[in-house]
């Protein structure tokens, strides 16, 4: 799939380059041709008028210009009466050429004569009947133009080959983030399917057990039904987390930015965790003394704290301590959630924000969770232009420090 895409991108680039090069080659060639021929035309004009008025007739003066110039004067019958000093052939050999042009209706043009092509200009003589015909041998111009065309075409082809490799390289580079996000998406779908399959199997097995004992009462089978219910809740949480991240990926997850009291919001969240902390035998402390007004999405910031406190309580054994801190600085606020729990090994720390990443799968399996909580937390922090720092000491505890900059209303 990416092979084809790269080829397509490369070919598009090369086609555009080829078109531009073609314009350049044709343009340069046409301009050069026009200039060379105009120059010849002008010199022929000068020569014809000088010869016509019989003032100057030395073509050597013009011979510094790349071409051979000469003129011939005729009488009223087309017979040569006078010529310039430098002639490419003897006068008699030129008679048929003059005769042909003399009888041509147009006063300028090109004529092929003895393997040469001449450009000519026919001007009537002022003093006597007849014409002065000035010639220019176009051989050298044609040679110059031929060489120019070969050079331009060769240069163009070399450029095209280079453009092909450059385009391939650029296409490869441009595709790197696409490849990465495609791979991420593939992994995400695979992980999501895997995570959904487990609770679905549990529900199915439990319901089959219930179905296998139709004579039993609901109360007597409540164990299986409760397992099913628990797994359904887990699935529902998983699906809503997946939906959140899918929306975030497609930029559909938006924030509702408004001014709110951050300390009050955090207070509300911590209070909602108190019953759980009490039943788990964990001390839950908070220092939310200062009043802080903050511009942000209050709901999402509460969700962020729910994720962090939920983890802190989940991974802290009975008798431990979980602390929530809030500090207001000039340009940002700092939320700290620390626990005295099991901690995280240093090698796992950089990965805990990845989707579906759970430090010890076997151990985590015993604790409720989807492995998506911190990925969602990270999105919330990033979308508020904030930063998160995690420090942990295995066996001693973990601390999450979140800095969220104070924003203007415009966000």
Give the start-end residues of each E strand in 75-207.
80-83, 108-113, 116-124, 131-137
CB of 356 to ligand ADP, least distance (A): 8
Residue 293 region, left (φ>0) first, then alpha (ψ -120 to 50), else beta?
A: beta
CB of 339 to ligand ADP, least distance (A): 5
Among 265, 309, 374, 402, the residue binding ligand ADP under the rule CB under 6 A is: 374
Task: Please list, in sequence order, all residues whose beta carbon lies within 8 angstroms of the beta carbon of residue 72, skipping any fewer than 6 positions away.
Answer: 80, 82, 83, 84, 91, 94, 98, 132, 133, 135
**CB nearest ligand ADP: which residue?**
369
**Using rule CB under 6 A, residue 138 touches ligand ADP:** no
194: nearest Cα among 224, 230, 235? 235
| Residue position matching structure tokens 């082809």 | 157
- Two tokens, residue 344: 């995280």
65: nearest Cα among 84, 37, 88, 85? 37
Distance CA 376, CA 55 (A): 95
**Using rule CB under 6 A, residue 371 touches ligand ADP:** yes
Check residue 349 and report its DSSP letter: G
**Using rule CB under 6 A, residue 311 touches ligand ADP:** yes
Among 10, 134, 398, 403, the residue binding ligand ADP under the rule CB under 6 A is: 398
| Residue position matching structure tokens 């555009």 | 16
**Using rule CB under 6 A, residue 198 touches ligand ADP:** no
**Using rule CB under 6 A, residue 386 touches ligand ADP:** no
**Using rule CB under 6 A, residue 199 touches ligand ADP:** no
Among 49, 198, 336, 364, the residue binding ligand ADP under the rule CB under 6 A is: 364
CB of 276 to ligand ADP, least distance (A): 14
In the stretch 326-355, what mask flags binding to ligand ADP with x, by CB under 6 A?
Answer: -------------x-xxxx-------x---
| C-beta closer to ligand ADP: residue 134 or 398 | 398
Per CB under 6 A, residues contacting ligand ADP are: 307, 311-312, 315, 339, 341-344, 352, 357-359, 364, 369-375, 398
């Amino acid at each position: 799939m990416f092979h084809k895409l790269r080829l397509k991108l490369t070919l598009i680039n090369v086609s555009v380059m080829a078109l531009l090069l073609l314009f350049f080659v044709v343009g340069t060639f046409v301009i050069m041709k026009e200039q060379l021929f105009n120059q010849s035309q002008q010199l022929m004009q000068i020569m014809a008028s000088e010869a016509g008025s019989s003032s100057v007739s030395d073509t050597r003066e013009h011979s510094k210009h790349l071409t051979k110039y000469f003129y011939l004067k005729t009488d009223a019958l087309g017979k040569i009466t006078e010529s310039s000093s430098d002639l490419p052939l003897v006068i008699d050999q030129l008679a048929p050429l003059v005769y042909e042009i003399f009888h041509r209706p147009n006063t300028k043009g090109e004529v092929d004569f003895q393997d040469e092509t001449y450009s000519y200009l026919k001007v009537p003589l002022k003093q006597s009947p007849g014409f002065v015909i000035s010639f220019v041998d176009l051989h050298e111009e044609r040679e110059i133009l031929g060489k120019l065309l070969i050079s331009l075409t060769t240069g163009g082809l070399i450029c095209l080959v280079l453009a092909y490799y450059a385009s391939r390289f650029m296409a490869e580079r441009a595709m790197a983030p696409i490849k990465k996000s495609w791979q991420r998406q593939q992994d995400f779908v695979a992980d999501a399917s895997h995570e959904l399959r487990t609770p679905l199997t549990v529900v199915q097995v439990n319901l089959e057990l219930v179905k296998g004992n139709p004579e039993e009462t609901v109360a007597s089978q409540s164990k299986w039904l409760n397992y099913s219910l628990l797994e359904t809740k887990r699935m529902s949480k998983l699906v809503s987390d997946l939906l959140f991240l899918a929306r975030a990926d497609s930029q559909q997850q938006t924030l509702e930015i408004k001014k709110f009291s951050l300390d009050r919001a955090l207070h509300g969240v911590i209070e909602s965790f108190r019953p759980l902390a009490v039943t788990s035998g964990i001390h839950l402390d908070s220092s939310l003394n200062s009043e802080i007004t903050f511009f942000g999405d209050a709901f999402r910031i509460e969700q962020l704290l729910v994720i962090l406190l939920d983890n802190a309580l989940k991974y802290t054994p009975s008798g431990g301590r979980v602390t929530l801190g809030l500090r207001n600085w000039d340009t940002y606020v700092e939320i700290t959630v620390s626990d005295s729990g099991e901690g995280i090994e240093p090698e796992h720390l950089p990965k805990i924000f990845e989707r579906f990443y759970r430090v010890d799968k076997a151990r985590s399996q015993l604790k409720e969770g989807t492995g998506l909580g911190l990925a969602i937390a990270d999105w919330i922090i990033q979308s508020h232009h904030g930063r998160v720092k995690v420090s942990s000491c295995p066996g001693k505890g973990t601390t999450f420090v979140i800095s969220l900059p104070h924003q203007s209303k415009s966000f």
